[in-house]
Amino acid sequence: MKVEARYGEEEEERLEKRPGAKRNGERLLRKRGCSRRTRRRVQPASSAIQRLFLACKTVFKGGSGTVPEPADVEMLHLLLDKMKPEDIGLSTDMLLRVRSPPKGTPRITYAVIYKCDNFSICIFILPPRAVIPLHNHPGMTVFSKLLLGSMHIKSYDWLDPVPIDNSAPSAKLRAAKLVMDSDFTSPCDTSILYPTTGGNIHTFTAITPCAILDVQGPPYSKEEDRDITYYQDLPYLKYPNGVLDQIEGADQCLGWLEEVDMSKDLKMDVVPYLGPQVIDV
């Protein structure tokens, strides 16, 4: 899921205009420099989020178009499986205070822990009934760890190769294979999707308040043709002359996906990450 984060610029401009700002700012920079050097000596990679960050730097160092090797996938998988809410500054009590409004669309909270050209680490907080709509991850490998709560995940991969008699009722529709349609409750295994397999097109629906730690490599990028696309899924049985006679159980595992605009009901608040910080060494 991609959301552009913009915050902090107005605050910086306000501080710069204050009397003595330059002099105070210079002192602050010197203090920060000393503080950063001290932190690196006493806790260079001691936190779980720091270990995850350093692993991501290694796994995704190849940049866009690089799918991690199986051994690297397993390493990230193991690290994420061990992650706990407190590793990113969350607690069960905090999550229980996340509620949906009596009416209207629940708002999702989103924070970026770290982002570069090669990968991103983010957090999503969903109140009950909140939905991240069906969307894709073009050319991306994504790890999603449910840290707290319960949610429903539904995912698809494109049907490939497409059977000869697959006559779509519309050029906007494309046949897809259902990969997952299940409820999950933390603690549970990390889910992994790849550029063309593993459920690259997925949707999340919160059953209870829940928190998801997301690693994307590489992140979305319009410049590199990795922009997000949203879909709606339609039952395959709705349309005749399909491939149901060729694939056993196709009535349960196939669907039509139609590209749609981002839902106007999608409400997402971008907030600063306030948990343990990562140190880019």
The model's pTM is 0.76
In degrees and rounded to multiples of 5, residue 202 shows phi and psi of: -140, 165
- pLDDT at position 168 is 56
Name which residue leads in pLDDT, 136 or 62: 136
Query: What is the C-alpha separation between 180 and 123, in angstroms, rounded?
Result: 22
The pLDDT tens digits of the residues spanning 121-176 come to 999 999 999 999 999 999 999 999 999 999 999 999 998 766 555 555 566 788 89
Strand (E) or helix (H) holding 125: strand 120-126
Query: What is the C-alpha separation between 249 and 86, in angstroms, rounded?
Result: 43
- pLDDT at position 231 is 96
Percent share of the chain, pLDDT over 70 = 70
- Is the per-residue pLDDT at 34 higher than 80? no
- pLDDT at position 149 is 94
- pLDDT at position 237 is 63
- Is the per-residue pLDDT at 30 higher than 80? no
* 146-182 as b/e: b if 16+ CB within 10 A: bbbbbbebbbbbebeeeeeeeeeeeeebbbbbbbeee
- pLDDT at position 169 is 56
Name which residue leads in pLDDT, 243 or 230: 230
Q: Which domains does the chain have, with CATH numbers?
A: 43-270 (2.60.120.10)
Name which residue leads in pLDDT, 70 or 103: 70
- pLDDT at position 76 is 96
Average pLDDT, the chain: 79
- Label residue 87 by pLDDT band (50, 70, 90): very high
Is 1 in contact with 227 (CB distance < 8 Å)?
no
Q: What is the mean pLDDT of residues 179-185?
A: 95
The pLDDT tens digits of the residues spanning 206-238 come to 999 999 999 999 999 988 888 999 999 988 765
Per the structure block, which two tokens stand in for 201?
Answer: 């097109």
